[in-house]
Amino acid sequence: MPPSRWPRLGYAALVGIIFAPAMHIGSFYSSPEIALLAGNLFSFIVSPKGRVTLTFVEKRELARGIYEFIFKSDRSFAFRAGQYLEWALSGVPADSRGNRRFFTIASAPEDAEVRLGMRLYDAPSAFKRTLMVLEPGAKLYASGIAGDFILPKDEKRKLAFIAGGIGVTPFASMARHIIAVSESRDAILLYSSRTEAEIAYKDVFAKAGKRGLRTVYAVTDEQGPINAAFIEREIPDYRERLFYISGPPGLVDAMREVLSSMGVSRSAVKTDYFPGLA
């Protein structure tokens, strides 16, 4: 399907209409196969084309178990802060998941480098093991820029971000973008991590603090998970804000339920999942 929300709705409508058994033009009748073929053609037309070649420069350990990989692109390409790419890496040992993964771009659209933020778990996949031992000059290929987890065009819209673990990556991209364009945003980030040592991008969020992004760190080993009381204390005007939640599926689902119990409309909540098994 197409990579963003409105084209996906168009895809669904097109396939649904053609799939209808009574649909026909003269003696030509539709079928499920024709409906899916039409949907695939529509998806191809509206989806981003082409790929970029990324040359590996270096990796940096941002926090315990969290790394950022820095690349140079062979050409410039446009994206919006918070979007993701499909990354293809050669030389990955054979496993059930292949050599392609989706990762959010951690850099800002204005940056000279392309950055990827990744958490290394116990028993990492073949893809991550290969990524960890890349030598400078190694090549990756990226394509399929996509995602609706992006800042609203209205710069005056009040925002609230909730991040868990490596789910902070899209917010790092947004913070870097805010810094790069000297944009002011009324935004509050609640960043949940298990320990203090696992907090990444502190320097980025400190700089973004001068542009209106206030960051509150929630170390769960010391104070427990983010809950309704925590949100009410740190974001007293939460009913006026558009919420973005990013992190492991369990955290995203839990935060969505908490916000719902607080009376936050579903239309005021955007989510992004990081399964952590890449």
Number of structural domains the chain divides into:
3
Do the domain assignments include residue 130? yes
Q: How confident is the model at residue 216 (pLDDT cuts 50, 70, 90)?
A: very high
Return all residues near 238 (Cβ < 8 A) that are at least 6 apart: 160, 231, 232, 259, 262, 264
Q: State the chain's mean pLDDT as an integer.
A: 89
Residue 10 lies in a domain: yes
C-beta atoms surrounding 274 within 10 Å: 25
Average pLDDT over residues 20-36: 73
Instruction: Tell which of 104, 123, 146 closes a domain.
Output: 146
* CATH code assigned at 181: 3.40.50.80
The rounded Cα 259 to chain-centroid distance in angstroms is 20
Domain of residue 123: give its range: 51-146
pLDDT digits (tens, 9 = 90+) for 71-109: 999 998 899 999 999 999 988 876 667 788 889 999 999
Is 151 a member of any domain?
Answer: no
pLDDT at 7: 75
Query: Can you tell me the distance from the alpha carbon of 156 to that of 65, in angstroms, rounded to the nearest whole number?
Result: 36
196 with 265, same domain: the answer is yes
Is 223 a domain residue? yes
Amino acid 24: pLDDT: 66
Most trustworthy range by pLDDT among 20-34, 40-54, 79-93, 251-265: 251-265
66 falls within a domain: yes
Lowest mean pLDDT among 26-40, 74-88, 181-195: 26-40
Determine which helix (DSSP H) or strand (DSSP E) holds 132, and give its type and residue range. helix 126-132
**48, pLDDT greater than 70:** no
pLDDT in the model for residue 31: 79
Which of 161, 157, 185, 186 has the alpha carbon at shortest distance from 171? 161
- Does residue 102 lie in a domain region? yes
Residues 196 and 226 in one domain: yes
Residues 185 and 256 placed together within one structural domain of the fold = yes
Strands (DSSP E) contained in 165-241 are: 187-193, 213-219
Per-residue pLDDT, 58: 97
For residue 59, being part of any structural domain is answered with yes
Residue 170 lies in a domain: yes
Q: Looking at this protein, which amino acid is placed at residue 188? A: I
For 147-173, what is the mean pLDDT? 95
* Strands 242-247 and 269-273, sheet pairing: parallel
Q: Are residues 126 and 165 in the same domain?
A: no
- Looking up tokens 């040592």 gives 197
Query: Do 55 and 131 reside in the same domain of the chain?
Result: yes
d(CA 37, CA 19): 11
User: Does 169 lie in the same domain as 68?
Assistant: no
Is the predicted pLDDT of residue 51 greater than 70, yes or no?
A: yes
For residue 127, give the 3-state DSSP assignment.
helix
